[in-house]
């Protein structure tokens, strides 16, 4: 059954969209990730204009983060103070990002920049995750491996504006989470992602937050940043397709339930290797499309 | 009284010298893009006063169109050049009773923009040499053909007897909105005897139109509503999760 998407201005099979939403929802439930970094490229693959894919995906992530954060909140796994600082940076970054998006669109380079961002970040994250989980599997076999020192003192701890984060048991400079927030905000606006796949590793490895509060806190920040992106993309670029967002979301909500159940039955390292491989496949496909000689060197830009 | 009027009309229509040489109409003048829109078919029909040839040209609204050409930088294909065409019909389709080259001389075809190769797609003159301009023009047509907006195959106009003709206009699902016109040329012995134009509107109707207008006219409010919808959906999902 075809449905006409009013903002994307094309008609797509509803069941294809529901199926995609369901499949990505399943994966996000399985791996505990937002799924935006998989959904946006796939929307682009099926022919949704990249700017609409990005704007709409931000809208969909608002919904999936809300349902996620409520669950974490009930378990007390949200560090609101840390979330607030991340959010300040995120709002700044995402506003900057949407502005950058509009400029790039005018220059005719937005599609390229979206794809390059994806190739870069999917490549880095997928590669690191793959190597790390292979090592973890190896470590499991060699039970007596040397452990890293718990706390390393680096230049990071010398930054000014130190703040105490009780819930995260940290005393660090506020500039650090704010900086992470800005970076994630910019990426959120340009890539149409929540940015969890960058923020979570940054919170664990860079800020040194305890794993238990990381996911809840990042989801808390993601809600507001993606809401900001949704608003600004709708306002400045008119690229948010509510119809598309609602269809994807319906599929994703259902898929996530099954994914979470399946995830409980699989081992962590194996899951992460699978996720890493998938990320690398999407990255490879995007990179291939950028480097292979296009069938037609000429293309039509926006009609504006 | 009415009967007499009708009879008179028929008589006048039958009188070869007095009547218009060609009459044309469409099965509908509005193509409505609704939620389930997957393309549309419109029937164009009409009559001519003597056997001859008919050429039908359907054009979409004209608009400026920007085109990009990619070239390779650091191994990656980047939009490097761009060119803006001033008046490009968003849609262009042609149908005829016989192959165009059998109907009229090339000069006649060119003068009336019959066939995509005869479309006048002007580039700002200073910007490109004739050869380069030709490349861009061909690329534009190729891209539009690929998108299904300039159907590569010419349609067929069929005659029923000597006088009545009909053809089907097929509009794809991605058809741009706006004011279209179907221009029907009536030719005898390679010369245009008469032409008739009939309007056709393609527009979003119902929910689709409302969402689109809302998004463009009240962008800020649209953004807020989009967020509220998402918040609501997320909250509902959370409740469903808890139950499960």
Asked if residue A222 lies in contact with residue A197, where contact means CB atoms within 8 angstroms, the answer is: no
Per-residue pLDDT, B15: 46
What confidence category does residue A286 fall into, taking pLDDT thresholds of 50, 70 and 90? confident
ipTM value of the model?
Answer: 0.80
For range B53-60, the mean pLDDT: 90
Asked if residue A57 lies in contact with residue A36, where contact means CB atoms within 8 angstroms, the answer is: yes
Asked if residue B195 lies in contact with residue B23, where contact means CB atoms within 8 angstroms, the answer is: no
For range A148-155, the mean pLDDT: 57
* Domain ranges, ordered by start, for chain B: 19-204, 206-244
For chain A, the farthest-separated pair of C-alpha atoms sits apart, in whole angstroms, at 64
Backbone angles phi, psi at B57, to 5 degrees: -120, 125
Report d(CA B124, CA A297) in Å as an integer: 21
First to last CA, chain A: 31
The residue written with tokens 């962590």 in the block is A268
Using the predicted structure, report yes or no on whether residue A143 has a pLDDT greater than 80: no
- Give the gyration radius of chain A's Cα atoms: 20
CB contact under 8 A, B174 and A109: no
Using the predicted structure, report yes or no on whether residue A303 has a pLDDT greater than 50: no
Per-residue pLDDT, A88: 92
CB-CB neighbors (< 8 A) of B147 in chain A: 300
Min Cα separation A193/chain B (Å)? 15
The residue written with tokens 């996530």 in the block is A256
Using the predicted structure, report yes or no on whether residue A144 has a pLDDT greater than 70: no
Min Cα separation B37/chain A (Å)? 6
Per-residue pLDDT, B124: 67
Q: What is the pLDDT of residues A272-284, one digit of tens each?
A: 788 888 889 989 9
- Strand, helix or coil for residue A151: coil
Asked if residue A245 lies in contact with residue B223, where contact means CB atoms within 8 angstroms, the answer is: no
Min Cα separation B208/chain A (Å)? 5
- Strand, helix or coil for residue A42: helix
Per-residue pLDDT, A263: 73
Backbone angles phi, psi at A3, to 5 degrees: -130, 140
Using the predicted structure, report yes or no on whether residue A260 has a pLDDT greater than 80: no
Q: What is the pLDDT of residues A15-44, one digit of tens each?
A: 999 999 999 888 887 777 777 888 888 898
Q: What angle do CA A44, B90, A297 make, to 5 degrees?
A: 50
CB-CB neighbors (< 8 A) of B82 in chain A: 108, 301
- C-alpha distances in angstroms, B160 versus A142, B11, B48, B102, B163? 86, 21, 11, 20, 7
What confidence category does residue B118 fall into, taking pLDDT thresholds of 50, 70 and 90? confident
What confidence category does residue A160 fall into, taking pLDDT thresholds of 50, 70 and 90? confident
CA dihedral A280, A285, A288, A289 (to 10 degrees): -150
CB contact under 8 A, B70 and A7: no
CB contact under 8 A, B223 and A4: no
Question: How many Cβ atoms sit within 10 Å of the Cβ of residue B150?
Answer: 21
Per-residue pLDDT, A56: 93
Q: What is the pLDDT of residues A103-127, one digit of tens each?
A: 988 888 888 888 888 899 889 888 8
Q: Give the lowest-confidence range in A59-63, A139-143, B95-99.
A: A139-143
Per-residue pLDDT, A146: 46
Side-chain half-sphere CA neighbours of A286 within 13 A: 27
What confidence category does residue A147 fall into, taking pLDDT thresholds of 50, 70 and 90? very low
The residue of chain A nearest to residue B235, with distances taken between CA atoms, is A67
Q: What angle do CA A243, A246, A252 make, to 5 degrees?
A: 140
Using the predicted structure, report yes or no on whether residue A302 has a pLDDT greater than 60: no
What confidence category does residue A182 fall into, taking pLDDT thresholds of 50, 70 and 90? very high
Per-residue pLDDT, B224: 92
Min Cα separation A265/chain B (Å)? 17
Report d(CA B90, CA B129) in Å as an integer: 25
- DSSP-assigned letters across all residues of B165-176: EEEEEEE-TTPP
CB contact under 8 A, B229 and A242: yes
CB contact under 8 A, B229 and A246: yes
Using the predicted structure, report yes or no on whether residue A304 has a pLDDT greater than 60: no
Report d(CA A299, CA A280) in Å as an integer: 28
CB-CB neighbors (< 8 A) of B228 in chain A: none
B122 DSSP assignment: P
Q: What is the pLDDT of residues A41-61, one digit of tens each?
A: 889 888 888 889 999 999 998
Q: Give the lowest-confidence range in A114-128, A141-155, B207-221.
A: A141-155
Report d(CA A252, CA A254) in Å as an integer: 5
Per-residue pLDDT, A191: 87
Asked if residue A30 lies in contact with residue A271, where contact means CB atoms within 8 angstroms, the answer is: yes
Q: What percent of chain B has pLDDT over 90?
A: 15
CB contact under 8 A, B143 and A300: yes
Report d(CA B184, CA B179) in Å as an integer: 16
Chosen for mutation from A6, A46, A116 (greatest number of chain B CBs closer than 10 Å) is A6
CATH number of B19-204: 2.60.40.1930
Task: Indicate the burial class of B5 (C-beta count within 10 angstroms; 0-12, 13-18, 19 or more).
Answer: exposed
Q: In what order do the strands lie in the sheet with B62-73?
A: A298-300, B62-73, B76-89
Q: What is the mean pLDDT of chain A?
A: 82
Q: In what order do the strands lie in the sheet with B30-33?
A: B30-33, B191-204, B178-188, B53-59, B92-96, B155-156
Q: What is the pLDDT of residues B8-47, one digit of tens each?
A: 454 445 444 446 788 889 888 888 888 778 888 899 999 9
- C-alpha distances in angstroms, A64 versus A203, B99, B104, B131, B241? 20, 57, 62, 53, 12
CB-CB neighbors (< 8 A) of B230 in chain A: 59-60, 62-63, 66, 227, 230, 245, 249
Using the predicted structure, report yes or no on whether residue B7 has a pLDDT greater than 60: no
Q: Give the A:B interface size as CB pairs under 8 Å.
A: 181
Q: What is the pLDDT of residues B133-178, one digit of tens each?
A: 888 888 889 888 888 888 888 888 888 888 899 999 888 888 888 8
Per-residue pLDDT, A275: 81
Q: What is the pLDDT of residues A78-110, one digit of tens each?
A: 888 888 998 999 999 999 998 998 898 888 888
Tokens of A53: 């894919």
């Amino acid at each position: 059954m075809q449905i006409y998407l009013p903002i994307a201005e094309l008609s797509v099979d509803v069941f294809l969209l529901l199926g995609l939403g369901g499949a990505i929802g399943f994966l996000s439930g399985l791996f505990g990730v937002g799924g935006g970094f998989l959904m946006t490229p796939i929307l682009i693959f099926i022919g949704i204009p990249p700017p609409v894919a990005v704007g709409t995906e931000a809208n969909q992530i608002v919904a999936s983060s809300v349902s996620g954060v409520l669950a974490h909140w009930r378990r007390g796994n949200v560090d609101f103070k840390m979330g607030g600082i991340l959010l300040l940076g995120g709002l700044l970054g995402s506003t900057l990002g949407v502005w950058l998006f509009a400029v790039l669109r005018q220059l005719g380079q937005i599609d390229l920049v979206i794809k390059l961002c994806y190739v870069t970040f999917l490549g880095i994250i997928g590669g690191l995750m793959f190597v790390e989980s292979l090592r973890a599997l190896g470590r499991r076999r060699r039970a007596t491996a040397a452990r890293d020192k718990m706390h390393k003192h680096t230049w990071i701890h010398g930054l000014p504006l130190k703040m105490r984060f009780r819930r995260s048991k940290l005393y660090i400079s506020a500039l650090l989470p704010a900086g992470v927030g800005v970076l994630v905000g910019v990426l959120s606006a340009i890539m149409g992602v929540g940015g969890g796949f960058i923020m979570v590793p940054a919170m664990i490895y860079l800020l040194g937050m305890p794993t238990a509060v990381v996911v809840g806190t990042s989801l808390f920040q993601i809600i507001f940043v993606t809401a900001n992106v949704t608003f600004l993309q709708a306002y400045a670029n008119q690229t948010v397709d509510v119809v598309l967002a609602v269809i994807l979301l319906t599929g994703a909500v259902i898929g996530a339930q099954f994914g979470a159940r399946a995830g409980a039955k699989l081992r962590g390292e194996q899951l992460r290797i699978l996720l890493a491989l998938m990320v690398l496949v999407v990255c490879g496909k995007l990179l291939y499309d950028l480097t292979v000689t296009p069938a037609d060197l000429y293309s039509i830009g926006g009609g504006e | 009284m009415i009967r007499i009027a009708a009879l008179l009309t028929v008589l006048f229509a039958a009188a070869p010298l007095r009547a218009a040489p060609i009459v044309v109409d469409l099965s509908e003048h509005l193509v409505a893009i609704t939620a389930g829109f997957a393309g549309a078919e419109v029937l164009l029909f009409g009559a001519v006063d003597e056997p001859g040839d008919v050429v039908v040209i359907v054009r979409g609204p004209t608009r400026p169109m920007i085109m990009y050409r990619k070239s390779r930088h650091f191994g990656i294909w980047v939009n490097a050049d761009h060119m803006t065409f001033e008046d490009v019909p968003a849609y262009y389709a042609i149908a005829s009773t016989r192959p165009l080259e059998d109907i009229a001389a090339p000069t006649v075809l060119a003068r009336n923009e019959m066939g995509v190769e005869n479309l006048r797609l002007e580039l700002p003159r200073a910007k490109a040499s004739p050869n380069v301009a030709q490349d861009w023009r061909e690329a534009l047509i190729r891209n539009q053909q690929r998108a299904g907006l300039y159907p590569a195959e010419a349609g067929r106009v069929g005659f029923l007897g000597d006088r009545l003709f009909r053809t089907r206009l097929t509009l794809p699902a991605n058809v741009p909105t706006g004011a279209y016109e179907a221009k029907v040329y009536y030719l005898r012995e390679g010369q245009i005897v008469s032409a008739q134009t009939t309007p056709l509107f393609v527009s979003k109707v119902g929910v689709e139109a409302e969402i689109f207008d809302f998004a463009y006219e009240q962008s800020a409010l649209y953004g807020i509503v989009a967020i509220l919808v998402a918040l609501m959906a997320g909250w509902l999902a959370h409740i469903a999760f808890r139950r499960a």
